[in-house]
Amino acid sequence: MLQPLGMSDSDYAQPLPPSLHGNAAAGTQQSRPSDERWTTPTDLAKFAIGVERAYAGAEGALLPAELARQMLTPQIAASERIGGLNRLGLDVFLDESGTRYGHSGGNAGFRCHLMAYRDTGQGAVVMPSG
């Protein structure tokens, strides 16, 4: 499976291949570790960095610059998400200007929250278990 941007601890396969279990985050269910694993906070941060690099037109970026710009351009209004993100781009939620973006979701045992700023390189990933 292609793992962009050095995202060596993530995969799209479900269930995650056993060879990656030692590196992927595992949440908890009823105070016991969950068997479901998918990614890590570090790999989600690498995703955001990759999108920002592509948006800026960096050499060797994961995506063509035009696609990254479409991702970070508000396409339609959405119900408000974390941090006031109330627009939807391509695969991410955005603020009205498209300069702040994020995504949230989760698997059995944990939630994932990504928030990043397109132009400053700042961002955060939080993956609480529970």
Write the pLDDT tens digit of every residue in 67-82.
999 999 998 888 767 6
Of residues 108 and 111, more confidence is placed in 111
- Domain presence at residue 99: yes
The conformation of residue 19, written as its DSSP 8-state character, comes to: G
Which tokens is 16 given? 């995650």
Which tokens is 67 given? 């696609």
- Domain presence at residue 118: yes
Would you state the pLDDT for residue 26?
65
Specify which of 2-11, 31-40, 121-130 reaches the highest per-range mean pLDDT: 121-130
Q: Dump pLDDT digits (tens) for 88-110.
A: 888 889 988 889 999 887 766 77
φ, ψ of residue 21 to 5 degrees: the values are -60, -35
- Domain presence at residue 8: no
Of residues 31 and 111, more confidence is placed in 111
Q: How many domains does the chain have?
A: 1
- Domain presence at residue 105: yes
- Domain presence at residue 70: yes
With a CB cutoff of 8 Å and minimum separation 6, the contacts of 77 are 86, 87, 88
pLDDT of 4 strictly over 80: no
pLDDT of 54 strictly over 50: yes
Q: Which domain holds residue 127?
A: 40-130
What average pLDDT does this structure show over 51-55?
92
- Domain presence at residue 23: no
- Domain presence at residue 31: no
Burial of 31 (0-12, 13-18, 19+ CB in 10 A): exposed
Partnered with residue 93 across adjacent β-strands are 88, 102
Which tokens is 39 given? 């990614």
Would you state the pLDDT for residue 90?
81
Tokens 């955001």 belong to 48
Would you state the pLDDT for residue 3?
41
- Domain presence at residue 25: no
